[in-house]
Structure 1
């Protein structure tokens, strides 16, 4: 490991890797900590996550953090209506954390700064070291997805006040994302498709696609306890944080529009919705015959092991879905909507099954449940695909290339 200092700023604590953005930030941080002396600065928006600070400290050189309650988050968002900012920025900005970051920079000559997600860049822009020192350092940003486009999609799906709020955030956040791209030496997005979206609004010559990986040792067939009698059932599993609106929408859409048709053909089929903090709309689905809602599960691999098929019925999806990669790594056939499969090079029908609409999804799943051999073949091909294309270390090696090269005189 090098003694060179890297500052990693995240909008949420990058541990544990138990949900979308935290999976990516964790693996990025893990990789950097294996090669550099890393200091982490992070907001914590869930008080329960404070208990993980000691485990995070064991991974890196040191950790600075600030805790923010949900109520304060809402107040900060409301305040943005007066300030004219996108609400994302003040929600995740803390003056006390800024002071700790600047105090650290007073005495440390960092090799590079990596900001994870757009709101983390504010700690660079507002730093008292920005003009004199930081602009001479290698500045890296991982936007992951084009969040302004996500808010635009949300606006299209809603009506009334929420439509206005989401539309405003899309409008306000886009120039902020473009400022990051213009200022930072390199900005990452999770896929070529996300780069194409950003290219519609401005230059992307300093933007690169940095794909998601999957922990191939952790998500491996046989890595979790398995119930043979459950695997033999016709169980469909949809996994994810079930307080996240696209997951909620996807679960409800599948339960209402697809699952009843499958159940007519396969009466013993089960739809298992597995994930933390299920929204009331998700909890209500378990009143329907054949639908299970697990809530938080200690080990998602057990749910995936028990699945005949993993379904990913997202109607709104940005970037590469971890739940898709995890299901594929567990040798499961994944049936996904077109949006949920975005960013993957997997061949539909061979390594994944991608569907266009509710009728096709129902038909495909019915046929797969009746053809266990094909299900097994697709699952095995899926595992080979992620082994070939989605190794975290293979993707994250790009960070070392940039950091070791440093900032050129032309930048």
Structure 2
């Protein structure tokens, strides 16, 4: 349900029910253009004011109304009294040894923390965003799952992570390289299960694509899921341009049940049916499967052959991810020879397969390592 009832009157009760609203004031960063236009109608403002405000919030990433100098002093005072613009404070920053990965710990307004990762690779400037504080799914190989679920993020909180990335990449290019669009790619592979916070994620993707803002096309967005099957079907309908990445990690229900409790609710066959559906309607025409290789658990020749059988028959890509160490877990990464052999079995059977060595593992920014911890 949109935050504002479309019509001549402004429904404040509707706004206060919106997920972009804190205890007192609505967060304008989470409003879609039509919703912002109706919000401003409360003050009797012309439609062009909507675009002015959108450019400040989404184009320039400004969260302080006093800095929006072309809005007029009285209007800025009204906005300060009635609304806010989400801004997440940076609590900690870590940079990988190779300089290609930077991790931010960001503070939420309620004191909780999340992590956002920026990566530079081969001309791409990617922001990896969190969709929840913590996670309820309890995947055994994932550090975020050890935290447990704290809460969903609002669309504004998700979007502000991308703005942090945009500011970071602009500063990085200040020495001479200029970016028309500082963020080229967004991946929902941070803390939390994106499809368990579906409406906020959907809204954030739409807002990040605004031409007067970050201008990140949906075709440059990838949403990762542990396998929330009903929401995969919704995603295929609502956002057919986004990429879907499925965290697979096993070739039998028995092993996947032990690694990922969600498999007991949505077993492999059900999950793969949803993946085939997404591949059939997606404008990308391909689904990515993430497969964390864990020594003695899912890295045998039999696993490789079963994986070929599971994904045959529809367009997909396999990302093999050598396991990244997680505290208090007994799992280990396979040796290089075993990784290469597993890869070769898939490649010889004509699958599109890549060994993805995670960036930022030296700063606990790699796949499965995010915990929102700040060094003391």
TM-score (norm 1): 0.31
Structure whose residues are more often helix by fraction: 1
TM-score (norm 2): 0.33
